[in-house]
Amino acid sequence: VSQLGDRFDAVVGSLDPSMVVVTTAVNDVRSGCLVGFHSQCSISPKRYAVWISKANHTYTVAVHAEYLALHVLAEADGDLAALFGSATGDEVDKFALCEWTEGPGGVPLLDGCPNWMVLRRTGYFDEGSDHVCVAGEPVDVGGGATLQPLRLSAVSGLTPGHEATDRPSAMS
């Protein structure tokens, strides 16, 4: 009989979420990472939420930021997934290695991704585990292009720039 944690992983894995890149900025400090934990979380008003690992460079910026941008990755965006998911802003300036344009509050908008939204933070939730939830209202939205999303199953071989356990959790 498999362990509860293994069965949890199997059930969650069966969802095979689409992958997004979340970017943010405070003053001249920019950051961004690959994110599989994300969802619309209200209909009226419209809200979207992302979960950011406390281990990530992106977290150290996102806790202070007013704006986040979310970019939907397409199947052909494996290079962006690798840049934002396997490198860390603690060591690499990811924004020197991709094309981007400055959005509200200086948030970087990735030129290669037509489907994006800028969120102004409306909520923040730390339930004590290794990720925090940032929810926001859309203040600018691009694209609506038809695409085949890049799914978790296509990038599960990537080694994250930070493992979630890289920094302590109150619950571990």
Task: Write out the residues near ligand FMN by the rule CB under 6 A.
Answer: 31, 33-37, 51-53, 56-58, 84-90, 152, 155-156, 158, 160-162
* Nearest-approach distance from CB 64 to ligand FMN, in angstroms: 14
Task: Retrieve residue 11's tokens.
Answer: 């059930």
Residue number, 89 or 103, with CB nearest to ligand FMN: 89
Torsion from C-alpha of 82, 83, 89, 92, nearest 10 degrees = 120
Please say which residue, 73 or 144, places its beta carbon nearer to ligand FMN: 73
DSSP state, residue 33: E
Q: 159 CB contacts (<8 Å, ≥6 apart)?
A: 86
State the minimum distance, in angstroms, from the CB of residue 21 to ligand FMN. 8
In terms of CB distance, is 94 or 103 closer to ligand FMN? 94
- Least distance between ligand FMN and beta carbon 92 (Å): 8
17 Cβ partners below 8 Å, 6+ apart? 36, 37, 38, 151, 152
